[in-house]
Structure formats: C-alpha cells, structure tokens
Amino acid sequence: MSLWTQKNRIVITCAKGIAPFLKEEVLSLGLPILSEGIADVETEGTMEDAIKLNLFLRTGQRVLFLLEEFNAKRPDELYNKVSRIKWEDIIPEDGYLCVTSSVETSTIKDSRFANLKCKDAIVDRMNEKCGRRPDSGPKRDRTVIHLYWKDERCQIYVDTSGEPLSRRGYRRIPLRAPMQETLAASVILATGWKGNGNFINPMCGSGTLAIEAAMIALNKAPGLLRNNYGFMHLKGFNESSWNALRKKTRVIAKKSLNGRIIATDISQEAIEAAKKNATTAGVAHLMEFGVCGYSETPVPKGGGVVVLNPEYGERLGEIEKLKEVYKGIGDFFKKKCQGYKGYIFTGNLDLAKKVGLKTKRRIPFFNSNIECRLLEYDLYEGSRKMQAPISK
C-alpha cells in the first residue's frame, strides 16, 4: 500500500504537561485517541490526516507517522530490518535526509550510532535501487525519519513536521525568556478564552500569549504561516491539494473579534518586537499595544481574562525585587480587574504566594524543565465578593 493511502498510527509529541490539551485538539479534529502519555498522544489516520494535524494543532510539537515496527536486539538487526522498507517510494533520491531518534536499549550506548545505522540502511538501499542516494545531515528542513527504539521494540516514523510545530514562523525578533508558542497556546486553552470578552496581557514580552490568543479567537490555523514541513519532502506530495486546504482554512478564519486584545510591557523594545511579531502573524491590526508598567495597563469594562507571565528570578537579588512585583500584581488584580478571571504563569510558587489572593485553580505546566503553574484567580465584581486575601 502506498504511503499516501495507508492508515496508520500517528504519534504527536508535545511538551510535558500539555497532553490533555493536545488530546482535546485531536478529538476536535475528528480523530480517535489510542493512548495519552506525559508528552505525547497517539491517534491513527492517513498521511492526509497527518497533514491536517500539522496545519491545525496549536499544542503539538511533532506529528510522527508510523511506517514500520519490528523487534531488533542489535544494531545489525536494525540495519537489516530498516533496509527492507521501500525507501525508494518514500524519499526523493535527490533530496536530503535527517534521521532523529529516541533510543533506550541495552546494546546502544550512544543514540548517534543508532541514527547512523538507520541512515546507512536507508541510503544503501536507495543507492542499490535508484543508483543514487539523498544527502544526509542534521538539518530538519527536508525529509526527517524518526527511530524510536525501546528495549527490543523498534518503530520507524516519518516526522511529517520536520521543524517542530512550535516554530510557527511569526516570532522573528528574539527577546529574553519568550514562551514557546505551543505552551502559550496551551495556557490560553487552559483559561478557556476563545474570544469571549477581553484579553489583557500585561508584561507581554515578545507578545506570544496575545498573538496565540488572537489566532485562537479568529479560529486561524497556526500552521498557515509556515511554508515548509517535513511532509512536503516525501515522494507523492500533492502541492495543489495542500494549497487548496490552506485556502479553505483561510476562508473559515474570522476577520474580527468581539472583545479587545491589549498587550503591554514596560520595555519599549519588547513592544516593538511584539508588534513586529503580531504583524508577521497577521493579527497586529486586531491588537492594542502600550508601553507601561503592568499596573497601568488599561482594563476595559466587560470582563474577560487577564494573563501575566512575570519573570521567576534566578538569583537571590532578583527574587527579592520580584517579591514586590508579585505583590503588586495582587493589588492590580484587586483594584483594576474586577469582573475578570486573572491568571499568572510562573515557575516560582514562593513568589506566587506574594500575590496574596486565593487561587481557584493551579494548573501544572512545564517550561523547558522548570515545573510551572498557571494560577487562576476569580476577580469578582464588587467589594464583598472580591478576593479574600490569604495569609502570607
């Protein structure tokens, strides 16, 4: 059966803690969930489904389409079994190949050796069948094959994403401590904001949260901005049906928002970057930007969500200064954000205590390897139901 017609397992990887949001996204695209791990979700479908997942998923990192699975104990066995796959039907012989892997097996100490064996098996077969072979190396901008080898079980996937899906293509201006796009999207999904009410984002930095919020509210596919994916570098890729899908997706995206999106930061440089990034993402015209301290951020009537991602601090001196910032966020919530749901995304729970308000929910996340929480506060309207302060 051809790569383009067979239905197979599809593993979608994600950052730790994000799988519950990814699972909901996969289900809403009409695909089943076969399993859910800490950092992946498994579904099944055709290569066409894998392409849709690349275009529509906001929280996934890589979409891996299973080609073959088998048992192998040693590297030579891996080589032999990988050689049996009809690579000449999958990879263009004048293309470029990258092999990635996740290896946990007793016969391999260095996963690079497993990559090499797998790559050799592919290019040797292609040389034999086609008289030439693709170049190979570490760049993930063309065909990417992924080897998963645990104990004796091997799975060979096409990484249909190539570059990770967090690289949406709009964040061209790097700033300090930006949040990964997929994490920012998960944070918005966790708040439940879909364009209902206003979205207020003081301390916006490079604008990732506000940009992802705009794209969610517009129902704009996050993958539309990117023009390169791994699946485009497979034999049989149909460019015109991909373009037709993109066109259809553009048509269904909304053109305007009900609420306002306000993004501010104390740093002029951050706001310049956020504006540029939002322009690249095609959502700047729907956002309001301002240079100001977080407590000066305008919070219009009508409710919605206020989301802040303050620094967590690494050195002692920084943490001392940040205590005041976190305390000030609590005051800002109490004084200016009544009728809103307030959120703080932080990796420092001691600092979060300085906010001085009772949390309604504490949603676990990871930012790289740092365990974080998205803290939710109900900021009721009126003085009585306003947050009860908690003891510090």
Residues that bind ligand SAM (CB under 6 A): 175, 177-179, 202-203, 205-206, 208-209, 265-267, 270, 293-294, 309-311, 325
The least CB distance from residue 64 to ligand SAM, in Å, is 27
* Residue among 59 and 101 whose Cβ is closer to ligand SAM: 59
* Residue among 37 and 364 whose Cβ is closer to ligand SAM: 364
Taking the C-alpha atoms of residue 162 and residue 151, their distance in angstroms, rounded to an integer, is 26
The least CB distance from residue 135 to ligand SAM, in Å, is 36
Our measurement of the distance from residue 213's CA atom to the centroid of its chain's CA atoms, rounded to an integer in Å, reads 13
Q: Taken in order 200, 202, 208, 211, is the CA torsion positive or negative?
A: positive
Q: How far is CA 322 from each of CA 4, 264, 329, 350, 365, rounded to the nearest angstrom?
A: 53, 18, 10, 11, 21
The least CB distance from residue 328 to ligand SAM, in Å, is 7
Taking the C-alpha atoms of residue 77 and residue 21, their distance in angstroms, rounded to an integer, is 38
* Residue among 149 and 340 whose Cβ is closer to ligand SAM: 340
* Residue among 75 and 310 whose Cβ is closer to ligand SAM: 310
* Residue among 92 and 310 whose Cβ is closer to ligand SAM: 310
Taking the C-alpha atoms of residue 329 and residue 300, their distance in angstroms, rounded to an integer, is 17
SS3 assignment, position 206: coil
Taking the C-alpha atoms of residue 225 and residue 93, their distance in angstroms, rounded to an integer, is 28
Tokens of 185: 């999207």
The least CB distance from residue 325 to ligand SAM, in Å, is 6
* Residue among 294 and 333 whose Cβ is closer to ligand SAM: 294
The HSE-up count of residue 167 (CA atoms within 13 Å, CB side) is: 13
The least CB distance from residue 63 to ligand SAM, in Å, is 24
The least CB distance from residue 86 to ligand SAM, in Å, is 44
* Residue among 105 and 309 whose Cβ is closer to ligand SAM: 309
Residue nearest ligand SAM by beta-carbon distance: 205
Taking the C-alpha atoms of residue 223 and residue 52, their distance in angstroms, rounded to an integer, is 9
Tokens of 113: 């050796």
Tokens of 274: 């956020």
* Residue among 143 and 198 whose Cβ is closer to ligand SAM: 198
The least CB distance from residue 311 to ligand SAM, in Å, is 5
* Residue among 242 and 366 whose Cβ is closer to ligand SAM: 366
Q: How far apart are the first and last CA of the chain?
A: 64
The least CB distance from residue 283 to ligand SAM, in Å, is 15
The least CB distance from residue 245 to ligand SAM, in Å, is 29
H helix runs in the chain, sequence order: 19-28, 47-56, 75-83, 111-130, 181-191, 208-218, 239-252, 268-281, 316-336, 349-353
144 bridge partner residues: 98
